[in-house]
Amino acid sequence: MNYHTQMEAARKGIITKELAAVAKEENLVPEELRQLVAKGEVAIPCNVNHVALKPKGIGKALKTKINVNLGTSKDLVSLDSEVAKVKAAEEMGADAIMDLSTYGDTQSFRKRLSQECGAVLGTVPIYDALVYYNKALKDITAKEWLAVAEMHGQDGIDFLTIHAGLNRANAEKFKARRGRLTNVVSRGGSLMFAWMEMTGEENPFYEYFDELLEICRRYDITLSLGDALRPGSLHDATDGMQIEELITLGDLTKRAWEKDVQVIIEGPGHMPMDQIEANMKIQESLCHGAPFYVLGPLVTDVAPGYDHITAAIGGALAAWKGASFLCYVTPAEHLRLPDVDDVKEGIVASKIAAHAADLAKGLQGARSWDDAMSKARQEVNWEQMFALALDPVKARSYHESAPPEVENTCSMCGNMCAMKNMNDILNGKEVWIGGENR
Amino acid sequence: MNYHTQMEAARKGIITKELAAVAKEENLVPEELRQLVAKGEVAIPCNVNHVALKPKGIGKALKTKINVNLGTSKDLVSLDSEVAKVKAAEEMGADAIMDLSTYGDTQSFRKRLSQECGAVLGTVPIYDALVYYNKALKDITAKEWLAVAEMHGQDGIDFLTIHAGLNRANAEKFKARRGRLTNVVSRGGSLMFAWMEMTGEENPFYEYFDELLEICRRYDITLSLGDALRPGSLHDATDGMQIEELITLGDLTKRAWEKDVQVIIEGPGHMPMDQIEANMKIQESLCHGAPFYVLGPLVTDVAPGYDHITAAIGGALAAWKGASFLCYVTPAEHLRLPDVDDVKEGIVASKIAAHAADLAKGLQGARSWDDAMSKARQEVNWEQMFALALDPVKARSYHESAPPEVENTCSMCGNMCAMKNMNDILNGKEVWIGGENR
């Protein structure tokens, strides 16, 4: 091959087979998509070693994509349950899966994913370094941090979350300000902050960013520049530290693009609705149009057990106003590791947000799905409604759990069904209703 | 008393005890609230016969309120299960309850509600007319329709949904246009449309609107002017018929206010996110600042089983941009009559939307709840987090279902808990993590 990364190929005018596949899925002319990839406005995370990959594009000109987090933790180490979650996630249409395992034989799981899983794969090397080296955080060396990133590249991971924006300068500013309610809520960010504090060294992903770019170039890893300083509460949203880090990420984006390394930018977090649009604009400007990957945003802090809903509200708004990629949030957020049902709930909520955003931004073709569903409703065609439902299984089981007495209605309205009655009256039939009580 | 309605009292400069109670709950100066009620920008639905009422104010200067629909249908007639839903709704903080019963001994249930239930009560007389007269729709007379409204007033109902905007003129326009995918999806609206078609008569609520106002004045019933022509699909959103009806409702609002009758306006429905803000502005203008009561809006048609989420997205946006009152939507929407679990899910989703909107519009005091929760999170104070949660029972049961190995964390992150580790490192303690694998 005469290119290392999708970005390099695009810049050389080459339509790769991955780009062609994405263009087809998105109903775009390949040449248009090539220009977006060349500019960095679309990323096609696509590790050369991810043999099972079905490539996806991430960028605001495309369908909004969703990511599913899963992985083992010390409290829940079963690989089988994680594999069940991967299968559920793929079946339910997750575009990407991040393996955030923090315990057990993580490399076997990762390799299995890249051999078998078609979704775009992401990881956070910081977590895995603690597993892999099996020694205390403060004893891990700068070179070892980078070596884990390389290992993940070899294992076929398409994008790596790299917390390079929380460098010493930003950490010092953070300590000087101390105005936050919830400090650093990013897991990787807090570990890197603690490592810097304990060792006195610079963030290795920042200090050796050029070496990191060489690794990324080697495997065509997309950098997902992590927002270690994302707000973890409404109180901390859009504060100085969040924006300082975003400026740093914008600088790093340019350096990555100079080496043809693809970039996406991670974003909030907890944020009231009225700040979301401004945050999307600021990110676009500071990060030069690189796709924005948001976790939420959660529009209130008070709903643990329902953060798939708080995140769906924020995610829909964010994706409408510029985000390209939504990290799902499950009902278990803030409470426990999600189980497979939580994963499903999180995926559906996130897909609702993504599709609602695609509708709002007027994405070509997005509305035909809704129109088909509404036509099925008008025709009171239940089988068609189930077939078109985002979750056909739940839709059918709900409907069939309370069978209506009047055929082709539901137990909500029975013979008062507006669809049925309007069809009758508009077709010149009388509407026979009433006189049936007691 | 030297006034008939809260609006008349406000216009006469009287601070009623109901207005004083609402002012206290909303942290408003009573005189300010009085002016808003006098202008019609706040409604305090408050039937003189609703003895158990704890009054609430509805208007965009106040906290966003939520309504819970329930009631029997021919397929599910149990009064006990409806009473269980009323109790659940009150416990979970529903501001209003609409009894939409369409079968059985509806009057006993209604009277029981006004004797025992503190929430604001609403009904749709059209449904109940079919139950009460127990005869065919087309045989109900104009006088009988109005008599049911009067009966509901006597029974203590605070607001009545009256589909007066779908008059013959609008029905004729609707038939001439026929451009909709889902015609008329309002249950009451479709019945009134069918009645007009079958009898050839004018909509009695429109024809005898002055008589209706006399009834409302007698009991201080608030008119909830129904949107019979609300869009039931994204395709039909913000179409000519929806706006024609809204203009008619604006005219009726002025007539009601001339008789000191309080008004709220019902609104969509199914609507893509990008149309919501404009719809709120149009309603405010066409209906002269009368509070807007929206059902949803549902921001996509494709998610039956999850319409509490599609409605939470739309409701949050609507309430932020001007709606005052959200009708909840449950996961059972479009599929069956909701059960008590559906009711709970619907209430929580709706309360999330309402609170997210109050935060976004900067309502005084709204953020203190979130800040208290975030402080509890930073302190890893689980009991406090449960106490502050919108649904403490679910939050606790989730957390306790997967107990963490490391004290004061959760199974999501275990000893990688960012809160715990940041507290340690910022207090000069080393973060001991790593070296625990395998």
pLDDT digits (tens, 9 = 90+) for A366-423: 999 999 999 999 999 999 999 999 999 999 999 999 888 787 888 888 888 999 999 9
| B233:A320 CB<8 A | no
pLDDT at B181 over 50: yes
Domains in chain A, please, with CATH?
6-361 (3.20.20.540), 368-401 (no CATH), 404-438 (no CATH)
- The whole-angstrom distance between B28's CA and the closest CA on chain A is 23
Residue of A nearest to B339 (CA): A402
At A129 the pLDDT is: 93
In chain A, the percentage of residues whose pLDDT exceeds 90 is 86
At A408 the pLDDT is: 81
Round to whole Å and give the CA distance between A51 and A74: 29
The CA–CA distances, whole Å, from B134 to A415, A436, B125, B140 equal 14, 6, 14, 9
At B77 the pLDDT is: 67
pLDDT at A77 over 70: no
- The whole-angstrom distance between A5's CA and the closest CA on chain B is 33
Where is pLDDT greater, at A102 or A291? A291
Residue A376 backbone phi and psi in degrees, to 5: -60, -35
Average pLDDT score over residue span A319-324: 98
Judge whether A127 is annotated as a binding position: yes
**Shortest CB distance from A425 goes to which of B194, B369, B394?**
B194
pLDDT at A56 over 70: yes
Round to whole Å and give the CA distance between B201 and A198: 83
| B349:A438 CB<8 A | no
Round to whole Å and give the CA distance between B193 and B169: 11
Cα-to-chain-centroid distance, residue A301 = 20
Average pLDDT score over residue span B254-273: 98
| A367:B234 CB<8 A | yes
Judge whether B227 is annotated as a binding position: yes
pLDDT at A90 over 50: yes
| A369:B302 CB<8 A | yes
Mean pLDDT score of chain A: 95
Q: Are B219 and B47 in contact (CB under 8 A)?
A: yes
| A390:B303 CB<8 A | yes
Identify the top-confidence range among B75-79, B80-84, B90-94, B431-435: B90-94
DSSP class of B159 = E
Of the candidates A142, A141, A193, the one whose C-alpha atom is nearest the C-alpha of residue A163 is A193
Judge whether B200 is annotated as a binding position: no
Residue of B nearest to A174 (CA): B426
Average pLDDT score over residue span B140-161: 98
pLDDT at B29 over 80: yes
**Shortest CB distance from B273 goes to which of A74, A308, A316?**
A316
pLDDT at A437 over 80: no
Cβ-based contacts of A407 with chain B (< 8 Å): none
- The whole-angstrom distance between B12's CA and the closest CA on chain A is 38
pLDDT at A438 over 50: no
Cβ-based contacts of A415 with chain B (< 8 Å): 74
Q: List CB contacts of A286: < 8 A, sequence separation 6 or more.
A: A243, A246, A247, A249, A250
Judge if pTM exceeds 0.95: yes
Whole-number CA gyration radius for chain A: 24
Q: Could you report the per-residue pLDDT of B127-138, keeping only the tens digit for each?
A: 999 989 989 999
| A355:B300 CB<8 A | yes
End-to-end Cα spacing for chain B: 79
pLDDT at B438 over 50: no
Average pLDDT score over residue span B31-54: 98
Choose the mutation target among A190, A317, A394, A436 for the interface with B, i.e. most B CBs under 10 Å. A190
Q: Could you report the per-residue pLDDT of B338-373, keeping only the tens digit for each?
A: 888 999 999 999 999 999 999 999 999 999 999 999
At B180 the pLDDT is: 96
Round to whole Å and give the CA distance between A223 and A261: 7
Chain A and chain B share a number of CB contacts under 8 A equal to 430
| B194:A424 CB<8 A | yes
At B437 the pLDDT is: 56
The CA–CA distances, whole Å, from A168 to A231, A241, B197, B207 equal 19, 13, 75, 74
Round to whole Å and give the CA distance between B286 and B161: 19
Of the candidates A343, A103, A125, the one whose C-alpha atom is nearest the C-alpha of residue B413 is A103
Please report the ipTM that was assigned to this predicted complex. Answer: 0.97
Choose the mutation target among B103, B131, B236, B300 for the interface with A, i.e. most A CBs under 10 Å. B300
- The whole-angstrom distance between B252's CA and the closest CA on chain A is 25
| A356:B300 CB<8 A | yes
Average pLDDT score over residue span A352-375: 97
**Shortest CB distance from B73 goes to which of A175, A403, A414?**
A414
Round to whole Å and give the CA distance between B334 and B300: 13
Residue of B nearest to A398 (CA): B335
Round to whole Å and give the CA distance between B398 and A333: 10
At B83 the pLDDT is: 82
At B80 the pLDDT is: 78
Round to whole Å and give the CA distance between A315 and A295: 8
| A103:B394 CB<8 A | no
Cβ-based contacts of A435 with chain B (< 8 Å): 134-136
Of the candidates A324, A272, A341, A274, the one whose C-alpha atom is nearest the C-alpha of residue A301 is A272
Q: Could you report the per-residue pLDDT of A118-153, keeping only the tens digit for each?
A: 999 999 999 999 989 989 999 999 999 999 999 999
For residue B435, name the pLDDT band (cuts at 50, 70, 90): confident
3-state secondary structure (DSSP) of residue B105: coil
At A126 the pLDDT is: 94
pLDDT at A79 over 80: no
**Shortest CB distance from B434 goes to which of A137, A303, A438?**
A137
- The whole-angstrom distance between B9's CA and the closest CA on chain A is 36
pLDDT at A73 over 80: no
Choose the mutation target among A425, A427, A430, A436 for the interface with B, i.e. most B CBs under 10 Å. A425
Phi-psi region for residue B298, left (φ > 0), alpha (ψ -120 to 50) or beta?
A: beta
